């Protein structure tokens, strides 16, 4: 007796994590571009990894939407491995780049160093969290390809990317409020 499991929703209604991931990488890449002093090799590597994320994720999403049953998942394993691996590499590259560049920007002023340490902490926390979740997707699919545990992690990962982006944007406003401002009043 063959049991057919219909596990996928209709075409076009699958979760697309890369739609959230690409703008997030763009925001972080623009900050890395400014902090690095327009380091072209670093930006080219981030752009290449981001394009790989987009390509593999789009290919995987199309293949997933075409698969009607769990048995069809084996035909798209390569796309899933490449997509999850590119997510891990992109997150690690961005987090490591931000932390390294911020660390190299340290000065002799304690208030500036304190602000940079806080930014490094934000970069580590958001980068490690998203990278760990992407790695969990990769490991869960690699160890359990016959079930859909990885999809649950994948859905949570999209929300983590969005929260990381919002935390980064909100942290800028909060950190600016901690520093005293010098206003120049023209008379």
61 within some domain: yes
184 within some domain: no
C-alpha–C-alpha distance, residues 38 and 36, integer Å: 5
C-alpha–C-alpha distance, residues 167 and 40, integer Å: 27
3 within some domain: no
168 within some domain: yes
Yes or no: say if 53 and 79 are a contact pair by the CB < 8 Å rule. no
**1 pLDDT higher than 50:** no
10 within some domain: no
Give the 3-state secondary structure of residue 114.
helix
**33 pLDDT higher than 70:** yes
- pLDDT (tens digit per residue) in 53-104: 888 888 877 777 777 666 666 778 888 899 889 999 999 999 999 999 999 9
Q: What is the mean pLDDT of the chain?
A: 80
The pLDDT of residue 18: 67
150 within some domain: yes
Closest C-alpha to 60, from 14, 24, 10: 14
**pTM here?**
0.79
Q: How many structural domains comprise the chain?
A: 1
6 within some domain: no
Q: 160 lies in which domain range?
A: 17-176
């Amino acid at each position: 007796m063959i049991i057919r499991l219909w596990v996928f929703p209709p075409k076009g209604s699958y979760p697309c994590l890369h739609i959230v991931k690409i703008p997030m990488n763009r925001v972080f890449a623009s900050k890395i571009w400014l902090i690095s002093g327009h380091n072209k090799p670093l930006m080219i590597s981030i752009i290449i990894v981001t394009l790989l994320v987009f390509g593999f994720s789009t290919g995987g999403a199309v293949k997933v939407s075409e698969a009607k049953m769990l048995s069809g998942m084996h035909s798209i394993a390569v796309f899933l491995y490449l997509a999850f691996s590119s997510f891990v590499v992109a997150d690690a590259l961005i987090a490591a780049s931000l932390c390294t560049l911020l660390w190299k920007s340290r000065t002799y002023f304690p208030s500036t160093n304190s602000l940079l340490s806080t930014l490094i902490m934000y970069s580590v926390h958001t980068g490690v969290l998203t990278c760990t979740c992407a790695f969990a997707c990769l490991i869960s699919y690699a160890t359990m390809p016959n079930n859909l545990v990885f999809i649950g992690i994948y859905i949570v990962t999209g929300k983590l990317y969005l929260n990381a982006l919002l935390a980064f944007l909100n942290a800028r406003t909060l950190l600016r409020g901690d520093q005293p401002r010098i206003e120049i009043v023209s008379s």
